[in-house]
């Protein structure tokens, strides 16, 4: 088996520039607004799940009579859900702000198309 490299030092230092292709889509301003206002992220869904678990565990701890090691389970579920709700809520808020910023940036960088009429 030949152990020689198929590349030389000269081959490894050659830089090649490649052409890029851009695709431009016409987007209406109302579509951009709809995009930003209806933006839903995975973090938002996970926030909903953890917040629901938080409310459920808090309600169970306040209303039900728990015996044995069950209270410890619900307290741990409460604190994990609380941490998850805080984290996923912050991430959902960040995602929403990123979407709003992106829409604003696209609007600012876009030029209206002249109406030929």
> Tens of pLDDT along 50-77?
999 999 999 998 888 888 888 888 899 9
Prediction pTM value: 0.64
Q: Which burial class, exposed, middle or buried, applies to 72 when counting CB atoms under 10 A from its CB (0-12, 13-18, 19+)?
A: exposed
Encoding tokens for residue 30?
């109302």
Q: What ranges do the domains of the chain cover? A: 40-108
Q: Is the pLDDT of residue 41 over 70?
A: yes
For 19-31, what is each residue's pLDDT tens digit?
777 667 677 777 7
Give the pLDDT confidence score for residue 69 in this predicted structure: 84
Half-sphere exposure for 89 (CA within 13 Å, toward CB)? 11
**Residue bearing the bigger pLDDT, 29 or 78:** 78
Residue with tokens 């410890």: 72
């Amino acid at each position: 088996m030949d152990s020689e490299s198929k590349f030389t030092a000269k081959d490894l230092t050659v830089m090649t520039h490649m052409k890029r292709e851009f695709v431009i889509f016409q987007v209406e301003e109302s579509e951009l607004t709809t995009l930003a206002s209806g933006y839903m992220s995975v973090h938002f869904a996970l926030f909903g799940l953890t917040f629901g678990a938080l409310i459920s565990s808090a309600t169970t701890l306040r209303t039900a009579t728990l015996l044995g090691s069950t209270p410890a389970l619900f307290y741990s579920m409460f604190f994990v859900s609380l941490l998850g709700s805080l984290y996923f809520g912050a991430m959902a808020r960040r995602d929403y702000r990123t979407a709003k910023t992106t829409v604003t940036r696209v609007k600012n960088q876009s030029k209206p198309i002249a109406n030929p009429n």
